[in-house]
Amino acid sequence: MDTLTTSVKKKALELGFADCRIASADVEADDGFDRWLAQGYHADMDWMARTRDVRQQAALKLPGVRSVVVLAWNYYHPDTPPLPETGKIARYARRRDYHRSLLKPLKHLASYIRECAPDEACYASTDSGPVRERAWAARAGLGWIGRHGLVIHPRFGTWFHLATILTTVPLVPDEPIPDRCGNCTACVHACPTNAIVTGRLVDSRRCIAYHTIENKGPIPDEIADRLGGWVFGCDRCQEACPWNKRTGMAAAEMDERERTFPSLTAKALLALSEEEFNRLYAGTPLMRARHAGLCRNATLVLRSAGDQRP
């Protein structure tokens, strides 16, 4: 491995990333993404279709791109407080918004690459730019794409965020790792809305995570009746995955605010004013759905639970 590749990986770990692997940018487009779009599995996330070309051809985003630095940011912690049955929030969202917490180390790493190679360019993003992060992660051998469509890291399971840096620097690529799902179908059976379809894809139109976070309109009854207590996101497929249930998984650091993240029942959520909601959840991913979205979800959760629970 050349010196720059080694030092970029070392720097990434120093900055708090859990893993760093490299993909060569010189690869063909990702069939899975095109099939996902063609089937309409992106629901009303039209920006996915609009940015199809730039996602499939990284050179449209960064002319002369040679490498993709793929980074994992662990967010797993075994001691997160239990959630009320009618107020479940996806594990990643019980923390500071990762778009913010990753930005500083990510920009720092991109600056480091530019310092080492001053004539070269970088484009850094974490779920914020038109970059097909999962495909790059698989190509770099950071993990493999599980049946539930998420990247599984051999050490961190799926409890991590992905970030990437496209760069014109020719770094030494890593090899992909084999698929380790084997004959398992636990996630497919755990999904309450049959959203996991063939080809390691998820049909967003049936996915609770999509509806409770991204869908700004009404949630179809067929999905709303199966929310199972989830008011923001859904971790059912991840919780069922044996790669996420191993003991002794590395715990990420949490600050005091994250340790005391308010876990409210659906009824308690509905009782919050918009101002109280904003004060309690400022800086967390819940702000994406806003007070109105959480209230809609909480109302449907109570409806599907017969409105009997505390």
Contact range with ligand SF4 by CB under 6 A, out of 26-34, 107-115, 184-192, 290-298: 184-192
Closest approach of ligand SF4 to the CB of residue 42, in Å: 14
Nearer to ligand SF4, 241 or 269 (CB): 241
CB 244 within 8 A of CB 236: no
Long-range contacts of 171-175 (CB under 8 A, 24+ apart): 171/2, 171/4, 171/5, 171/8, 171/22, 171/66, 171/67, 171/69, 172/1, 172/2, 172/5, 172/22, 173/22, 173/23, 173/24, 173/67, 173/140, 174/21, 174/22, 174/23, 174/140, 174/141, 175/141
Q: Which residue is nearest to ligand SF4 (CB)?
A: 146
- Look-up of token digits 């020719």: 170
Q: Report if residue 184 touches ligand SF4, rule: CB under 6 A.
A: yes
Whether 119 is catalytic? no
**Residue linked to tokens 């859990």:** 18
CB under 8 Å to 94, separation ≥6 — which residues?
80, 258, 261, 263, 284
* CA–CA dist 282, 287 (Å, integer): 7
Report in angstroms how near the CB of residue 152 gets to ligand SF4 at its nearest.
6
Q: Can you tell me which of 140, 181, 201, 231 binds ligand SF4, judged by CB under 6 A?
A: 181
- Among residues 26, 31, 127, 307, the one annotated as catalytic is 127
301 binds ligand SF4 (CB under 6 A): no
CB of 143 to ligand SF4, least distance (A): 10
Q: Shortest approach of ligand SF4 to residue 227 CB, angstroms?
A: 9
Least CB distance to ligand SF4 at residue 300 (A): 14
Per CB under 6 A, which of residues 137..156 are in contact with ligand SF4?
A: 146-148, 152
In the region spanning residues 231 to 270, those forming contacts with ligand SF4, defined by CB under 6 A, are 234, 236-237, 240-243
Integer CA distances (angstroms), 33 to 78, 131, 142, 211, in order? 33, 11, 19, 20
Q: Which residues pair with 122 in a beta bridge?
A: 167
- 186 contacts ligand SF4 (rule: CB under 6 A): yes
- Which residues are near ligand SF4 by CB under 6 A? 146-148, 152, 181, 184-187, 190-191, 193, 195-196, 202, 207-209, 234, 236-237, 240-243
Active site residues: 127
